[in-house]
Amino acid sequence: MDLERRLEIVKRNSVEIVTENELLELLETKEKPRAYVGYEPSGEIHLGHIMTVQKLIDLQMAGFEIVVLLADLHAYLNEKGDFDEIRKIAEFNRRAFVALGLDEGKAKFVLGSDFQLESDYMLDVLKLSRMTTLNRARRSMDEISRRKEDPMVSQMIYPLMQALDIAHLGIDLAVGGTDQRKIHMLARDNLPKLGYKAPICLHTPILLGLDGEKMSSSKGNYVSVRDSAEVIERKIMKAYCPARDTDNNPIVQIAIHHILPRFNVLKVERDQRYGGDVTYESPEQLIEDFKSGELHPLDLKRAVAKYLNKIIENVRVKIEGR
């Protein structure tokens, strides 16, 4: 694969790359660059997780070695459960990510507790704590903390550890949603002061929930890999999908960020009275037709439900045997 195509695959469906010049230099000079995403083990693998898994698949296609950090210690610090529970969930997450298409032979899965308790790592945490103000640590956690109003001290340690994960795992490219940006910038600013290189950072968009609001486990406004085909169809058909609006539309987001990258095509089946079947091979085509009214929200919903079930069916079969 030539450099231009590799760069195109890495960049697609990203919001920001810090910096693109550094990314280009990395692709030109390193045969097997190393990229990672860290996940707090979660019992619900939903479209937000699948977004970054899809980006890891893109990166594998572009020749990156992939590291998936199953961040059990981070989950513990962020009050997500006890260690036994978190580690069981981490194993479920690993199997789900592989079932979603991540090549297990080209990806390394690492538990945070496998290296984050080493003396060198903990000494770096203390060193970084002397370089980081309390205000910056707290701002870095604003988007991902369970306890924003009255945070625990553990949540101030969290961003320092996340920055150091990048260094201790030998990462060239750190991947995450835009909610990870402040932590990534903390890493870029301070890791060189400890003798480590500053990582390149790639940020994916944060998907809206199916109701058009922020995706939240408490609201249940998401599609999970545990959902049955019937539940997915029902959720999608009830989802917020305003006609002609492509900027704040979760169904359009799913089509662009989940379906087109994975299938390279989205076929909308319609009665001849409404123009007959239409096939989309690029986000631009789909956006143009939706904005003009040529593509009706109901037709797009039906197509999205069908393709989402194709993606998640493989996970249901491999993880839960159904």
SS (H, E, C) the chain: CCHHHHHHHHHCCCCEEECHHHHHHHHHHCCCCEEEEEECCCCCCEHHHHHHHHHHHHHHHCCCEEEEEECHHHHHHCCCCCHHHHHHHHHHHHHHHHHCCCCHHHEEEEEHHHCCCCHHHHHHHHHHHCCCCHHHHHHHHCCCCCCCCCCCCHHHHHHHHHHHHHHHCCCCEEEEEHHHHHHHHHHHHHHHHHCCCCCEEEEECCCECCCCCECCCCCCCCCECCCCHHHHHHHHHHCCCCCCCCCCCHHHHHHHHHHHHHHCCEEECCCHHHCCCEEECCHHHHHHHHHHCCCCHHHHHHHHHHHHHHHHHHHHHHHHCC
Q: How far apart are CA 243 and CA 132, in angstroms?
A: 46
CA quadruple 311, 314, 316, 321: dihedral, nearest 10: 170
Give per-residue pLDDT as tens, 94-114. 999 999 989 888 899 999 999
- How high is the pLDDT of residue 321? 55
Q: How far apart are CA 204 and CA 11, in angstroms?
A: 10
Residue 34 in tokens? 């190393």
- How high is the pLDDT of residue 291? 97
Q: How does the average pLDDT of the chain come out, rounded?
A: 91
Across 281-300, average pLDDT: 96
Task: Judge whether residue 147 has pLDDT over 60.
Answer: no
Beta-bridge partners for 107? 66
Across 286-299, average pLDDT: 96
- How high is the pLDDT of residue 246? 95
Task: Judge whether residue 82 has pLDDT over 90.
Answer: no
Contacts of 216 (CB under 8 A, 6+ apart): 209, 222
Across 32-36, average pLDDT: 96
Determine what percent of the chain is predicted with pLDDT higher than 90. Answer: 72
Domain borders along the chain are 3-204, 229-320
Contacts of 18 (CB under 8 A, 6+ apart): 184, 185, 188, 200, 201, 202, 203
CA quadruple 159, 151, 131, 166: dihedral, nearest 10: -10
Across 276-294, average pLDDT: 96
Across 206-231, average pLDDT: 89
- If one counts every other C-beta atom within 10 angstroms of the C-beta of residue 148, the result is 12
What fold is seen in the domain 3-204? Rossmann fold (3.40.50)
- How high is the pLDDT of residue 55? 94
Terminus-to-terminus CA distance in the chain, angstroms?
37
Measured N-to-C along each axis, helices 297-320 and 229-238 cross at an angle, to the nearest 10 degrees, of 150
Task: Judge whether residue 169 has pLDDT over 60.
Answer: yes
- How high is the pLDDT of residue 97? 92
What's the maximum distance between 2 C-alpha atoms anywhere in the chain? 69
Q: At 146, is the pLDDT very low, low, confident or very high (cuts 50, 70, 90)?
A: low
CATH architecture of 229-320: Orthogonal Bundle (1.10)
Task: Judge whether residue 58 has pLDDT over 70.
Answer: yes
- How high is the pLDDT of residue 162? 95
Range of weakest confidence among 6-10, 86-90, 142-146, 233-237:
142-146
Q: At 220, is the pLDDT very low, low, confident or very high (cuts 50, 70, 90)?
A: confident
Task: Judge whether residue 32 has pLDDT over 90.
Answer: yes
- How high is the pLDDT of residue 110? 97
Contact 204, 177 (CB under 8 A): yes
In the block, tokens 């280009």 appear at: 24
Task: Judge whether residue 319 has pLDDT over 80.
Answer: no
HSE, side-chain direction, 13 A CA sphere, residue 235: 26
- If one counts every other C-beta atom within 10 angstroms of the C-beta of residue 145, the result is 18
Beta-bridge partners for 37? 68
Q: At 237, is the pLDDT very low, low, confident or very high (cuts 50, 70, 90)?
A: very high
In the block, tokens 């760069």 appear at: 7
Query: pTM value?
Result: 0.89
Residue 238 in tokens? 């009830």
Across 274-294, average pLDDT: 95
